[in-house]
Amino acid sequence: MSKIKFGTDGWRAIIAKDYTVDNVKRVTEATARWMLQKSMNKVVVGYDCRFGGKMFSEVVASIFGNFNIKVVIDKNFVSTPMVSLGVTRYDADLGVVITASHNPPSYNGFKLKSSFGGPTLPVHIAEVEAIIPETPLGSTPSIKELEERGLIEYADLEQLYLDHVKANFDLPLMENINLAYDAMYGAGQNVIRRLFPKATLLHCEYNPSFDGQAPEPIHRNLKELSDTLKNNPGLELGVANDGDADRIGLYDEDGEFVDSHHILLLLLYYMKEYKLLDGKVIVTFSVTNKMKNLAEQYGLDLEVTKIGFKYIAEIMTEEDVLVGGEESGGLAIKGHIPERDGIWIALTIMEFMAKTGKSLKELIQDIYAKVGSFKFDRDDLHITEQEKQDIIAKCANGEIKRIGDYEVLDTETIDGFKFVLENEQWVMVRPSGTEPVLRVYAQSMDNDSVRKLLNDAHKTLQA
């Protein structure tokens, strides 16, 4: 059997190659045995819209039932944040989500959620990983048998989530915002339809192959949403979520993409200046240094972590955190579970717009007045493993002295390599923890400068 390794956010693999029923059984058995070691006896299980989700979730439930662990499960697809919230509301010890998040349609995955309603801590993931058996269990109880033994409880996790939203947002005030929403065929599709019946909806149908497109809410995958806003002047905001709806993509009224760096700045601005809340700011290594600038203006502590929301969640369980987030669209704020949640963040931005009467463009200009304007982009290089290792070695050996027109002033190595250039510009290089790609990030003054910086970085790295 293949070796199973968890990445930055769960175990992910290609369906029918490494992501098989037998391997799902192996991972679930390790999880069940780990739970029993910790005297845990209740788990919430959910699946998103990917191929085989319901089948794999029932395999997971049967394994847990085999170890007499009670399973709370939804019969329909749900988002990752719905499972995380369900863990807290059903007083469960753990959550399992069958999802590969934003990965290509050929993938599925297995995420673990802790009792506090966020990603399971890295130390606990390592403990589960260490006891994954070489071979799967044989016969296990059927779902019907588990129902008869009282080990299955069915839950409506989507309704639970909707009730939570309605208790925390002024929805009547927000319903006047003309919203365009792209579910990317993911698990957020029904929530937005139910909350905002007048919204313009894209890709809000069940399509387990995501029409062949990886459901990652970045601009190159969202051209239709962008064009919808450009061609319909009455629309004020565009929102997209990934396959399990824990990440967000955002567009202003002109169809211009608003990246996670800008969203994080907006969240900090809103939470501090308008909601008058305090707390620590936590960002991952690839987030703009402008967050540090704004946090300092507010007198708030800021901490930078490795890539992966699990590092942010761990701090959120131990300290008072106001805003936390990562470049890839996983963001969290005070007052909700310590979990990235693309829908919750979209609702927060909508509430900010509704309460101020300002457009998203105007709010971003307010941010620029505080920290200066900037642009950001990221390229994913699909290269061979040898080429990837050669580039990483070149970075580690200090061979990157210049990138294009700029001298490297400093190199930061918290997680990958960030090359600091003049005028608050930077380039970062890091292998993905969930896909076989090398990510190259850049920040500069405007879009043309960012593009040139990325192109120059490619030449330098691959020389």
Q: What is the mean pLDDT of residues 73-102?
A: 97
pLDDT, residue 46, reads 98
pLDDT, residue 329, reads 84
- Interval 340-394: pLDDT, tens: 999 999 999 999 999 999 999 999 999 999 999 999 999 999 988 889 999 999 9
Query: How many other β-carbons are positioned within 10 Å of the β-carbon of residue 273?
Result: 12
- Which SS3 state, helix, strand or coil, does residue 86 take? helix
- Interval 136-149: pLDDT, tens: 998 899 999 999 99
pLDDT, residue 463, reads 81
Q: What domains, with CATH codes, occur in the chain?
A: 11-157 (3.40.120.10), 161-254 (3.40.120.10), 258-371 (3.40.120.10), 375-461 (3.30.310.50)
Give Dmax over CA atoms of the chain in angstroms. Answer: 70
Q: What is the mean pLDDT of residues 294-315?
A: 95
> Are the C-beta atoms of 96 and 112 separated by less than 8 Å?
yes
Which among 248, 260, 216, 210 is positioned nearest to 101, based on CA atoms? Answer: 216
Give the pairing type, strands 438-444 and 375-381: antiparallel
Which among 214, 266, 265 is positioned nearest to 240, based on CA atoms? Answer: 214
Token match 């062949």: residue?
212
What residues contact residue 449 under an 8 Å CB cut-off, 6+ apart?
375, 425
Q: What is the mean pLDDT of residues 164-168?
A: 97
**CB-count exposure of residue 178 (10 Å: 0-12, 13-18, 19+):** middle
pLDDT, residue 324, reads 97
Which among 36, 112, 119 is positioned nearest to 70, based on CA atoms? Answer: 36
Quick one: CA torsion of 322, 316, 100, 251, rounded to 10 degrees?
0
pLDDT, residue 308, reads 87
User: In which band, very low, low, confident or very high, does the pLDDT at 448 lie, cut at 50, 70 and 90?
Assistant: very high
Give me the percent of the chain exceeding a pLDDT of 70. 99
pLDDT, residue 437, reads 87
Q: What is the mean pLDDT of residues 310-334?
A: 94
Half-sphere exposure at residue 393, Cβ-oriented, CA atoms within 13 angstroms = 7
What residues contact residue 16 under an 8 Å CB cut-off, 6+ apart?
none
Mean pLDDT (the chain) is: 96
User: In which band, very low, low, confident or very high, does the pLDDT at 434 lie, cut at 50, 70 and 90?
Assistant: low
Which is more confidently placed, 383 or 324? 324
Q: How far apart are CA 122 and CA 336, in angstroms?
A: 21
Q: What is the mean pLDDT of residues 318-345?
A: 95
pTM beyond 0.85, yes or no: yes
- Interval 236-257: pLDDT, tens: 999 999 999 999 999 999 999 9
Tokens of 47: 């699946």
Which among 270, 215, 259, 257 is positioned nearest to 80, based on CA atoms? Answer: 215
CA triplet 189, 378, 14: central angle to 5 degrees?
A: 55
> Are the C-beta atoms of 247 and 217 separated by less than 8 Å?
yes
Q: What is the mean pLDDT of residues 157-165?
A: 98
For the chain, how many residues are written?
A: 463
pLDDT, residue 206, reads 96
> Are the C-beta atoms of 169 and 347 separated by less than 8 Å?
yes
pLDDT, residue 280, reads 98
CA distances from 419 to 304, 328, 425, 438 (A): 16, 19, 9, 16
